[in-house]
Structure 1
């Protein structure tokens, strides 16, 4: 299948979405009910502060716990609105924030931060003025703030206005539901099909036929993701998750030419965001690149920065260690694919 395609199907009984580019799996979302989805909003109850860490443990429904990275002004028993920011390892508290956002395809409503802002990636002044006018018209008299996303460029005015109004109404409904002394789930977060509509906004053919994953080779590519081995063309690499971190090993293979190591490392740098995204891996990462001179390290680092700049998941490039490893820190926005497949 040539071109860009979005496939909406199920893996087992779980909702799933796949983004294909020229027949190659570029992104994959599979639902999982073992943890609250990122984006879910709860009325949580403050439980106890963690002295020395500056955080607060919170109670969620069904006996689950959450961790908020601040405790100033909070007291045990106090209800508060929080939003899940990512997944966590088994046995750990769910990470949450008190800066609740309401995000859709075109709009992000930001309670407590008034004003209408247009994405800086929209650089056409006429388009910016048009989109801003829509936002101001819909948000008139509403105290919440608004961010208009880059997907608004070229979108229909009515679609943008409808999206803004829906998010503003949802924000008002949720923010007015703080009463109560017991934890409660107020929104469940978006599933794979809604996330695909919300985030994969470039022009694409959308396929919703039952069994389309099998028909278009998605299942075969998911099966290949179970292996840590990745062929780079210019060598190969292994991506393996341990409990402490994700280890990446880059090798030149049979190529012994002077430029082999640099070529393999640059190929690995370009491939790494996709490899991590498809496998749902995050947290601390350590990359053992093929041996290169310190003069070539800057090239590899520049390639890494360019690659992760286009990746939607927040990743911090920490830098080189004294042993020559490259460290990264990646947000845990997804559960590891291996864990999801084990549960099927």
Structure 2
């Protein structure tokens, strides 16, 4: 397996209540992961919960996961017979007081509690273990035809005897077999440790979600990590379990790491509404309770398509950095040629294809507005910074 790679640096530091991990490519911030002691994240937690009550009107059930109740929708139920999944209903599958193994797939937001799923996953950098979904799933971008069959056979040999199912991520392209095998064994071991804790009274947390440091490494995609700078020696040990090759890249630095590449300044800019574009254009980003609106301004640049394509790359970056989730409406500069619109939509889909949160681009409306959705994974960056006393820049 071979493919292109882009070298990146990861900077991880602690600042007051925050654990922050910045991913930098060519000196530019591309991803930002933050954990706050003031507002701890439960994203990815695996919990033995207890069904609180069935709510037919919401097509699901509220499950007590300790300290709060999350919503388990019918679509996220797991039944003993997978073929009956479409017909599964909380009212017939679950009962009040019943223990149920769930994972937090989205944190509270917009006045709603956390969202839960019974389809537990354990993500690694190259593979994702799906304990309750047997089989191997391979991205179409990785291989086709005979090459796809050979890749599937190789993953089968690596994961044989480990149980569960496996998703092969796009970042597996070009990775040595030994490293894939090591990660598969680590994920399978983590699942066995969770299984040993299931016996007991709910609610109980069986596994916490990944820290900002681990997420930064896991979600690097196909980019090669050149160096990881950390301010805390304990982070090396945290990375060693899941990514031993990445742990070897760690350098401990007793300095203000986020002064490199002016990461602090870049974070402050993320709290503002306006984002400059090449050529004098800009984005204006406004978040409401229901959705986020992004307006593309071209300035004095005459080429609407060129400005819109510049905007596409920046929009994809801002969605990730600001952790914008839910419905997003983009008002691009008006274009009359249908081929230009199709080019733009294709570019937007490609720019967001590697977003770990998952982005769906639905096309352009009759009003010329592009509609997309991005999975909610946690609080928007602006909310997280506000909870720690960081205000907007404009």
TM-score of the pair, normalised by structure 1: 0.88
- Give 3-state SS (helix, strand or coil) of 1:179's partner: coil
Q: Which residue of 2 aligns with 1:320?
A: 364
Q: Which residue of 2 aligns with 1:239?
A: 285
- Listed as ranges, the matches of 1:175-214 within 5 Å are 175-200=195-220, 202-203=223-224, 204-208=226-230, 209-210=253-254, 211-214=256-259
- Give 3-state SS (helix, strand or coil) of 2:185's partner: helix
Q: Which residue of 2 aligns with 1:262?
A: 305
* CA positional deviation for 1:12: 3.0
77, 94, 97: which one aligns with 2:97: 77
**Alpha-carbon distance between aligned partners in 2 of 1:216 and 1:252, rounded to the nearest angstrom:** 27
Q: Aligned-residue CA RMSD in angstroms?
A: 2.7
* CA positional deviation for 1:60: 1.2
Q: Which residue of 1 aligns with 2:9?
A: 5
* CA positional deviation for 1:94: 0.4
Contact 2:103 2:120 in 1 (8 A): yes
**Alpha-carbon distance between aligned partners in 2 of 1:18 and 1:284, rounded to the nearest angstrom:** 25
- Give 3-state SS (helix, strand or coil) of 1:316's partner: strand
Q: Which residue of 1 aligns with 2:243?
A: none
* CA positional deviation for 1:232: 1.3
**Mean Cα displacement is larger for which, 113-122 or 190-199?**
113-122
Contact 1:20 1:26 in 2 (8 A): yes
**Alpha-carbon distance between aligned partners in 1 of 2:331 and 2:160, rounded to the nearest angstrom:** 50
* CA positional deviation for 1:85: 1.0
**Alpha-carbon distance between aligned partners in 1 of 2:136 and 2:336, rounded to the nearest angstrom:** 49
Count of aligned pairs between the two proteins: 338
Contact 1:116 1:132 in 2 (8 A): no
41, 45, 52: which one aligns with 1:40: 45
What are the Cα deviations for residues 295-342 of structure 1, in whole angstroms up to 9, with x where unaligned? 343332222222222333211112333433222111112421111212
**Alpha-carbon distance between aligned partners in 2 of 1:313 and 1:135, rounded to the nearest angstrom:** 27
Contact 1:285 1:327 in 2 (8 A): yes
**Mean Cα displacement is larger for which, 33-42 or 11-20?**
33-42
- Give 3-state SS (helix, strand or coil) of 1:217's partner: helix
Structure 1 gaps, min length 5:
none
- Give 3-state SS (helix, strand or coil) of 1:85's partner: strand
**Alpha-carbon distance between aligned partners in 1 of 2:299 and 2:60, rounded to the nearest angstrom:** 47
- Give 3-state SS (helix, strand or coil) of 1:226's partner: coil
**Mean Cα displacement is larger for which, 215-224 or 93-102?**
215-224
Q: Which residue of 2 aligns with 1:273?
A: 316
Q: Which residue of 2 aligns with 1:165?
A: 185
**Alpha-carbon distance between aligned partners in 1 of 2:131 and 2:357, rounded to the nearest angstrom:** 23
TM-score of the pair, normalised by structure 2: 0.77
